[in-house]
Structure 1
Amino acid sequence: MASTLEKFIHSLDPKALPRVLQIQSGIYCQGSIYEMFGNECCLSTGEIIKVIGFKINKLIASICENNEISRISAKVELPLNFPGLYKVVADKTPYVSIEEITRKVSIGPTRFGHPCFYSSEDIKLANLTIKHGEQITFNSVEEVNGTMAVNCGVIRNNQSHSFTLPLSQEGKFYECEEDQIYTLKEIAEWKIPKCRNRIVKLSNTLQMWDSSNPLPENFDGCLILTPVYEVQAVMKFRKDIVHILSDLDVEVKDITDCYDISSFLQPLSLEDVFERTSKEFPMVAEIMEGPSGGQKSYNLLYAGKEIIIYKKYQATRVLASEIRSDSPKRHFLIPISYKGKFKRRPREFPTAYDLDIVKSEKEQLHVVATKAFDSPHKELFSVSVGDQFLVQQCQISEVLYEGRKKVIDVLACEQILSDTYKKVLLPMYMEGGFVEVIHDKKQYQLSEICKEFHLPFNVKVSVRDLSVEEDVLAAVPGLQLEEEITDSYLLISSTSSPMESWEIPVYRLNMLVHLLSKDVQTIVPPVTKTTVEEISEEQYYMVRRYENQTLHPPPRPPKKPAFAPNPSFAEPKEDVSHVLQTPQNFDVDTTKKLCSNQATSVLELQVSCQNDSVHRENKKDMTGKATLVETSVIKDLTNKGLGNYEAEKGEEEHNYDYVDENTIENLRQVFQGTTVRNKHASSEGRRPAPLVPQV
């Protein structure tokens, strides 16, 4: 039975691919096919194509003013990258069975693929009864005891209960309302059911659209989204992949059951190749459609090129982001085998809780306060800008509030005073600011950092990787190593020059190949070229969202105590966090690990700032929040930055600049007139005498 291409694709289940179609009523041109802007826009009657995939290319949005769905004022075309955040309106039309839900709704391993529904009636199971109106989360579709079913869950009294529902389960199932907001691309990938439209409301505008905005000014209504698909297909007498938009005015007929599908070339994505068994490797393949953009090495992967695919495997990468105050930041995936060397950079911590997370047994964490905090409890310490602390451990402490004792979590620290060390307690919920003081000048390999320190970790390349022609990390002023991830790769080389092999990511590289019946002469792969991969902002968030779903950070403490402080307590000090802004691309070189068994000198940095010590003016940024404009002294210090890289024996020589003692002394005198006492104690195996501020 013939149907329009649009109707066929809208109702097509991706799991049913590939499908062979015959054009029943086509669009005629001089030839049987031609291309315009990379899409097939002409098909002749009688043409036979094999559909191998499809994805949403754009969205047709029907504009509904005043949230009245029945009143459509206009229709506009929206690309998937159209800016804005959107809230999904729950579909009022019920699904009549679990099987219909699985056929029309995307259910996958990520949080986007966990739709929620409720039943209009109670569902009685063997050991559980699902009440009508109770929210059911659909997690995955699996075969259970020979029957296809959906793994589901409900939450009752903050406890999760898991169960399965067979696809044959009938009833009336409605979508649940949700507060989550999405981009248009996320909605297109996960939130548009098959054979149904999707109603959304604009929640927030992310940025200005470069061209004219198709939506009305100050639009506050609803949009009914209708997808237009891009169909990937193979034709009888062509070796490349053709792209057809689903709204092309043609009629098609599904003839898969009566046609020899093996007569077509069989395109495989990198995911398809990765799913092959290890015994099938190595293999020879021809690229049918190469990747667009990306790494320079990917430029060798063009259509028609033959490659050898040696093996599949999982490899560890370190996800890193450029340290900079403005946007956009660059993001990298660094292999553990990276041969460059790193030096540490100061980390910044917004709360006392963050200090507790990163403390380690290897060394005592030394920090300087950059923001004042006035404690509402006399048992706990009030922090001033410039206070220095050695972090010890988390513990509990009793505080007195309105005559009653309360137990709260606190962080025990040692405060560095003028001539001694004082034990103090900081509330764990304290929202302040701290900058790490670096005493370590050692150069580290990436593998050493991952083994010895807690990520995230701030570093700077001190010796570039000499094994590569261009080390992209060497030019980056500072890097934050965020986390280790495990990703899937294929090891390939070119058949024309098999002297070098390189890795290609399976899930970040869109490429289609077809296998050739050729024997591989070399079973052992040649020398592997492992490179640093620069990834886009979108890929960065995909890696963090999808590949680390099982990793949950520890819960953050409340920013304020559960009980309100007594108004009779002292008023908080003025926020002067701008005074001690340590740039993220240089060390405050104190060159001392504050332990009694080490005899090394230290430059104690003690900056106490009074309200009138720095003239500043408050300005407002685009969001209306007040910002602080530092004086030229701070700007000069920030702009000083780092010099060249540090010399390394046997490798390229670099000159690595640190902020010297005179610079910090000048800064200290400008702000407070604080002086530094001679520090001979450290050479005698004792703690150095801390700074004495001048009065």
Structure 2
Amino acid sequence: MALSLEEYVHSLDLRTLPRVLEIQSGIYSEGSVDEMSGNECCLSTGEVIKITGLKIKKIIAEICEHIEGHKSPQPFELPMNFPGLFKIVADKTPYLTMEEITRAIHIGPSRLGHPCFYHQKDIKSGDLIIKQGEQFMLNSVEEIHGEMLVNCGVVRHRRDRSFTLPLSQEGEFYECEDESIYTLQEIVEWKIPKNRTRTVKLTDFSNKWDSTNPFPKDFYGSLILKPVYEIQAVMKFQKDIVRILPSLDVEVKDITDTYDAKWFLELLSTKDLLEMTSKEFPIVAEVVEGPLGNQLPRSILQPGKTIVIHKKYQASRILASETRSSFPKRHFLIPTSYQGKFKRQPREFPTAYDLEIAMSATEPLHVVATKAFHTPHDQLPGVSVGDQFLVHHSQATQVLCEELKTAVDVLACKKILKTSHEAALLPLYMEGHFVEVIHDKKQYQISELCTRFCLPFNVKVSVRDLSIQEDFLAATLGLRLEEEITDSYLLVSDFANPRERWEIPVGRLSLTVQLVSNSFWETGSFAVRTLIEEITEEQYYMMRRYESAFLHPPPRPPKHPTMGEIKLPSLSSVGKTVALPKFPKVRSFCGISSKELYLRQFISSLF
């Protein structure tokens, strides 16, 4: 049955791409040449095209509320490079099946592409019960034993629990509130469901933008974002991708099931490869466009090279940064298979609260104070520069505050004297500074460090990895191992030497290949080679933002016994006064100070 191009795109399930269409009739019925994004193509009755993707071409924004003193502006186009930051307003319209969610929302390999939902009733999956209103994350869609399932995850007691739901799962699924802040480009790529609008709230705007500000002065309100799509398609025997607006007055018919797709060249991007199901691998492909600055030997990914892509999978990396004080710092992703050895280096702790976080069950934390602290309470001792402590555990104690007994969180320590130890209590809100004293001279491999100690952790390479021709980690003065992350990789090899295989990071590598064959006979034994990646400041920031912020949200700050008061707006005419704890001066987190993060979290909890 013939449909208008717009109707067809509206009903299109993106998971079924690519699709082959035949032009039935329309404005190109006599045959015409149209210039589309620099690519010249001819659409005429009977012409056949293959749709490979559906992308957002532009965004139309509409201000939700009326601004006093301003005339309500008409909907306007918001440039993709608009330098504003937005918070997403959760969609209140429910999805009635898991299949409806997967049709509308792109589920990708990174945390940006892992949407979170909750259900109105309990859901049972195997021996796991997802409770009513409990947040769970959608990680991927896979075919398992002939059934399409959604791989999901839920956090229980700080541990991830995995489960699957069939696409046929019915119910009322609602989008969860999202506390993250996004750029417009990130929203366009990941956060606008197909055939739905997206309501966002403008939170920040850069004054450095040299174009006209499309918003009223001092506007920080809600917007409705409406996407305008374009179709990505290929013509027969052409490698160029053409882009077509769905609004073209053309009728089409889907002939995917009856047309021989061999008439089209099969071009695949890294994103296309990652969205293939696991059973479609291995494949043989020819590199059309390779990445710049390729670190692989013999230029395996150079254009014209025939490669084997064996599989896609998730692999762990340790995110590390140089500990030097100069900027910009270098950042690395270290595979857990790295064979070099490390020695521990002292860590610095800006507050007593950081000491509590760093405490280990394997050994007491030994630190020396480098900043004096004078306590306002007689029950708690002061700290002088050079004082040394063994940190044991945290507890609560009573102090006198304005002639009233008040509970204060403290660290129970042993103060090291010349010939003995004495008990000492350090308040968690203490704005001191401490440096770790290292007694351990042992050399560790990175896998041992991650198993035995809690990250973050300071180390220095003591023995370089001899299996690597150039180990640039060994040249660094020191490294801070920050956290373990999971990322998406492709396992590739030279077609002429399939036994030596390399892990290729998908998210940081641009690659276009032409499919040569979807069958390859796997050899028995093989060696997997990994790379130490040096990443940019922007890539590092994005990883900390989406990995660490999700997995390790900042805990609440310790309360200072002296309380200030702030006045908060209320929905009623009566003001609401609450106590606000004083915050320690602590390190920044993903470009935002911990103090600001704590303050946001504290105020959010009041409503």
User: Fold-level match, TM-score > 0.5?
Assistant: yes
CA displacement 1:633-675 (0-9 Å, x = unmatched):
xxxxxxxxxxxxxxxxxxxxxxxxxxxxxxxxxxxxxxxxxxx
Q: Distance in 2 between matches of 1:538 and 1:8?
A: 38
Cross-structure match for 1:12: 12
Assess if the C-alpha contact under 8 Å between 1:284 and 1:309 holds in 2: yes
For the residues of structure 1 that align with 2:350 and 2:356, how far apart are their CA atoms? Answer: 12
**Cα pair 1:60 1:225 within 8 Å, conserved:** yes
Is the 8 Å Cα contact of residues 2 and 251 (structure 1) preserved in structure 2?
Answer: no
Instruction: Map Cα deviations across residues 8-27 of structure 1 (whole Å, 9 max, x no partner).
Output: 44553312323222344467
Residues 96 and 72 (structure 1), Cα distance of their counterparts in 2 relative to 1, 3 Å cut: farther
Specify every segment of 5 or more residues in structure 2 that has no aligned partner in the other structure, as ranges. Answer: 125-131, 155-162, 565-582, 596-607
Q: What SS does structure 2 have at the residue aligned with 1:253?
A: strand
Q: Output the CA distance in 2 between the equivalents of 1:327 and 1:215.
A: 35
- The separation in 1 between residues aligned to 2:584 and 2:148, in whole angstroms, is 65
1:605-660 deviation per Cα after TM superposition (whole angstroms, max 9, x unaligned)? xxxxxxxxxxxxxxxxx99x9xxxxxxxxxxxxxxxxxxxxxxxxxxxxxxxxxxx
CA contact 2:308–2:493 (8 Å) conserved in 1: yes
Describe the shift of the 1:325–1:6 C-alpha distance in structure 2 as closer, same or farther (beyond 3 A): farther
CA shift at 1:185, angstroms?
A: 3.0
- SS at 1:259 equivalent: coil
Q: Against the structure 1 CA distance between its residues 533 and 100, is the aligned structure 2 distance closer, same or farther, given a 3 Å change threshold?
A: closer
Aligned residue number for residue 185 of structure 1: 185
| Partner of residue 274 from structure 2, selected from 248, 271, 274 | 271
Q: 12-21 or 54-63, which moves further after superposition?
A: 54-63
Which secondary structure state, in structure 1, belongs to the residue aligned with residue 79 of structure 2? Answer: strand
Question: Secondary structure at 1:366's aligned position in 2?
Answer: strand
- Going from structure 1 to structure 2, the CA distance change for 1:318 and 1:114 (only over 3 Å counts) comes to closer
Following superposition, the deviation at residue 413 of structure 1 comes to 1.9
Instruction: State the AA in 1 paired with 2:424.
Output: V
Contact 2:32 2:42 in 1 (8 A): no
Count of residues in Structure 1 that have an aligned counterpart in Structure 2: 542
| Distance of 1:465 and 1:506 partners within structure 2 | 24
Cα distance in 1, alignment partners of residues 408 and 584 from structure 2: 27
Please give the alpha-carbon distance, in whole angstroms, between the structure 1 residues aligned to 2:148 and 2:529. Answer: 46
Say which SS state the counterpart of residue 378 (structure 1) adopts: coil
- Aligned counterparts, 1:519-668, within 5 A: 523-524=523-524, 528-536=528-536, 539-540=539-540, 543=543, 551-552=551-552, 556=555, 558-561=557-560, 564=563
Question: What's the counterpart of residue 235 of structure 1?
Answer: 235
2:259 paired with 1:256: no
* Counterparts of 2:360 and 2:9, CA distance in 1: 56
SS at match of 1:503: strand
Secondary structure at the residue paired with 2:558?
coil
User: How far, CA to CA, are the matches of 1:501 and 1:96 in structure 2?
Assistant: 42
| Uncovered stretches (5+) of structure 1, i.e. residues with no partner | 127-133, 154-161, 566-574, 582-621, 626-695
Call closer, same or farther: CA 1:364–1:180 in 2, change over 3 Å. Answer: closer
My pick for the range that moved more, 342-351 or 535-544, is 535-544
Per-residue CA distance 1:456-505 (angstroms, 9 max, x = gap)? 11223455445434434345443211223444544322235668542213
8 A contact 1:322–1:329 mirrored in 2 = yes
Cα distance 1:496–1:229, how it changes in 2: closer, same or farther (>3 A)?
farther
- Establish whether residue 333 from structure 1 lines up as the match of residue 333 from structure 2: yes
Match of 1:270, SS? helix
Distance (Å, rounded) in 2 between the aligned partners of 1:44 and 1:577: 64
Give me the whole-angstrom Cα distance separating, in 2, the residues matched to 1:523 and 1:99.
38
Matching residue of 1:75: 76
Report which stretch shifted further, 104-113 or 373-382. 104-113
Query: Which piece of structure 1 moves more, 375-384 or 397-406?
Result: 397-406
Structure number with greater Rg is 1
Deviations 1:9-47 (A, max 9, x none): 45533123232223444679999687756xx46442243
Which residue is 1:87 aligned to?
Answer: 87
1:47 aligns with 2:47: yes
How far apart are 1:414 and its partner, in Å? 2.6
CA distance in 1, matches of 2:71, 2:274: 43
Query: 2:279 aligns to what SS in structure 1?
Result: coil
Which letter does structure 1 place at the counterpart of 2:189? E
Partner Cα separation in structure 2 for residue 357 and residue 170 of structure 1: 41
Distance change >3 Å, CA 549–CA 382, structure 1 → 2? closer
Identity fraction in percent: 46
1:668 alignment counterpart = none
Q: Give the Cα–Cα distance (whole angstroms) in 2 for the partners of residues 248 and 303 of structure 1.
A: 36
Aligned to 2:367: 367
- TM-score, normalised relative to structure 2: 0.69
Distance 2:296 2:178 in 1: 43
User: How well do the aligned residues superpose, as a CA RMSD in angstroms?
Assistant: 5.3
Partner SS state of residue 414, structure 2: strand
Cα separation, partners in 2 of 1:562 and 1:309, compared to 1, 3 Å? same
Distance in 1 between residues matched to 2:490 and 2:123, nearest whole Å? 45
Q: Is it true that 1:204 corresponds to 2:207 in the alignment?
A: no
How far apart, in 1, do the equivalents of 2:324 and 2:488 lie? Answer: 30
